[in-house]
Structure 1
Amino acid sequence: MFANAVDGCRIAYQVQEGASGNGPAVLLLAGQSNNHHWWDPVRADFGTTVTFDYRGTGQSDKPDEVYSTPGFAEDAVAVLDELGLDRVDVYGTSMGGRTAQWLAILHPERVRGLVLGRTSPGRSHGFERSQEIRRALSVRDQAERDAVLIDLMYTPDWVAQNPGPYPVLGDTSMPAYAKGRHLVASNNHDAWDGLDTIQAPTLILHGTDDVFSPAANAQVLADRIPNARAELLPGARHAYFHEFRRTASPLVTDFLAGLRTTQL
């Protein structure tokens, strides 16, 4: 299924129906250079869900042009319009969290509840990963780069017991130019001036041992966004939502269920 973005780009989207009575649909936003399969291990936890492949990934069109997190947010709106969904809950992780910030800023009427996972407000006020990590991720050898990513995403003990495949290592079908466009879009994200206008109640989740997107970003976001609170997951790294599913998913579902109670 496809939606047409404002510039005509075709955006592939996916809907998974949950059990009845689970409340509004949840829009799930994946990380940088990943498609909707990012959410495969945990998608069933959230009732009816909507995902889409960012432009440049999956089955979506892959124009060689400037990408941005506000642009990805507009692509999300095109998907919601195609589905006739006026208002949804939004859960974004990593670059998906950056995209989710812009969706809540630019289209507050479309976002009922907001969950931001291991993300940041952007370079101007956020905490960035170290240059050592950036250098490690820039190696040409794919296997070596994947090994670095796995270590950033998961704890060694969990990896030893779960040999993969891992859904968070990137969309291997992406052309090289699209990967570069995604990297620039994420690096250029800066939503600081709009964060204090977010109207949706917001839950911020972050692993304490995340050095890919340092955990200090969680409190920065919580202090800037009205009606927001941060929850840290002890020992978790960047892919907390996968490895620490038994803790993280109930935090999200309980938060969203609580909004249904307070908004009745």
Structure 2
Amino acid sequence: MPHTTTPDGVRIAYQVQGEGTPLVLLAGQANTHHWWDGVRDDFHAARSTLTLDYRGTGESEKPDKRYSTELFAQDVIAVLDDLGVDRADVYGTSMGGRVAQQLAARHPHRVRALVLGCTSPGGLHGIQRDSVVSRSLVQARPGAARQALLELMYTPAWLATHTGPHRTLGDPGMPAHARRRHLVASNQHDAWQLLPGVRAPTLVVHGGDDRLNPAANAPLLASRVPGARLHMIPGARHAYFEEFRTIASPLVLDFLTAVPQR
């Protein structure tokens, strides 16, 4: 697996599949590139896909020092530089959407088109999940928190026919320090002041029944990014991109295809 080394000396693993215009796929908090395993092939008829293992996950190094969504965005830039990619389309979901916000706002010349999925602007303006949801994710009973996360990701009907493995529940090999630092990085994200500076054409996508990252964050983002389009998927929960892939993947591809080359 190829790696690149960031300016601060951390080795980052990345993965390239397919051929054509590059599409960067950014996973959720504490997850590796396997987050995208269920849908990655949906894009290969028209795009190559580029993923990375965030620092702290997968085959990347796992330093015990401060992480942030801005730093994760810098890691994406290091990967693009290593590949000689000047500009790419970017699709980030969950915490990956927060990283994508940083990437598009701070490195506008590197992002051609932007898709923000099931994500939030963070900070005081972001809408937080309710306390019942938060408590369900820290239950002490073995397996209870994992089951709660599954039910926030997918509908009961989908879970009844898809028994796993589920690739969106976090990297089981992460050391505890990296898991904590990912949580802090996502929780401290605040792009509210940056979002009006996003210049890339933007699509905001969200599941209408998402309680993990409340669906009300989607219109907030869409109103804050100049010219952004908004698409809510009724009945979908946090992992809309996988369970509702027959809607979400064509939606994203149609949007990216419609953005003029420039």
TM-score range, shorter chain: over 0.9
Pairwise mapping of residues 142-157 of structure 1 onto structure 2 (< 5 A)? 143-157=143-157
Give the secondary structure class of the aligned counterpart of 2:70: helix
Q: CA deviation at 1:263?
A: 3.2
Q: Which runs of 4+ in 1 moved over 4 A?
A: none
Mapping of 1:90-101 within 5 angstroms? Answer: 90-101=90-101
In structure 1, how many angstroms separate the alpha carbons of the residues matched to 2:7 and 2:14?
15
Structure 1 partner of 2:22: 25
1:191 is matched with which residue?
A: 191
Map Cα deviations across residues 209-230 of structure 1 (whole Å, 9 max, x no partner).
Answer: 0000111111000100012011
Letter of the aligned partner of 1:209 in structure 2?
D
TM-score (norm 1): 0.96
| CA distance in 2: counterparts of 1:31 and 1:193, whole angstroms | 22
Structure 1 residue 132: Cα displacement: 1.4
2: CA distance between counterparts of 1:70 and 1:140? 32
Alpha-carbon deviations, 1:133-171, whole Å to 9, x = none? 111111244521110110000000110011111110000
The residue type paired with residue 23 of structure 2 is V
- Of the candidates 31, 36, 39, which is equivalent to residue 39 of structure 1? 36
Output one character per residue of 1:27-84: Cα deviation in whole Å (capped at 9) or x when no partner.
0000000000000010011120000000000000000011000000000000000000
| Aligned residues of 2:123 and 2:191 also touching (Cα < 8 A) | no
Count of aligned residue pairs for this structure pair: 258
Partner of 1:263, secondary structure, is: coil
Q: Distance in 2 between matches of 1:206 and 1:194?
A: 21
Tell me, in whole angstroms, the C-alpha distance in 2 between the residues paired with 1:127 and 1:141: 28
Match of 1:8 in 2: 9
Task: Give 1:1-264 correspondences, 5 Å limit.
Answer: 1-18=2-19, 22=20, 24-47=21-44, 48-141=48-141, 143-259=143-259, 262-263=260-261
Q: Whole-Å Cα distance in 1 between the matches of residues 74 and 142 of structure 2?
A: 32
Change in 2 beyond 3 A, CA 1:56/1:157 = same
Let me know the Cα RMSD of the aligned residues: 1.0
**Take 1:227 and 1:52, find their aligned partners in 2: how far apart are those partners?**
29
8 A Cα contact 2:123 2:192, kept in partner? no
8 Å Cα contact 2:120/2:221 also seen in 1: yes
Once the 2 structures are TM-superposed, how far is the Cα of residue 254 of structure 1 from its aligned partner? 0.2
**1: CA distance between counterparts of 2:141 and 2:233?**
32
CA displacement 1:150-205 (0-9 Å, x = unmatched): 00000001100111111100000000111100000000000010100000000000
Give the secondary-structure state (helix, strand or coil) at the position aligned to 1:15: strand
**Structure-2 separation of matches of 1:178 and 1:132:** 25
Percentage of identical aligned residues: 58
Structure 2 gap ranges (5+): none
- Say whether the 8 Å CA contact 2:206–2:232 is kept in structure 1: yes
Whole-Å Cα distance in 1 between the matches of residues 255 and 237 of structure 2? 22
Give the AA of the match of 1:13.
Y
Letter in 1 for 2:41: A
Question: Per-residue deviation at 1:123?
Answer: 2.6
CA distance in 2, matches of 1:101, 1:110: 12
> SS at the partner of 2:158?
helix
The alignment partner of 1:253 has SS state of helix
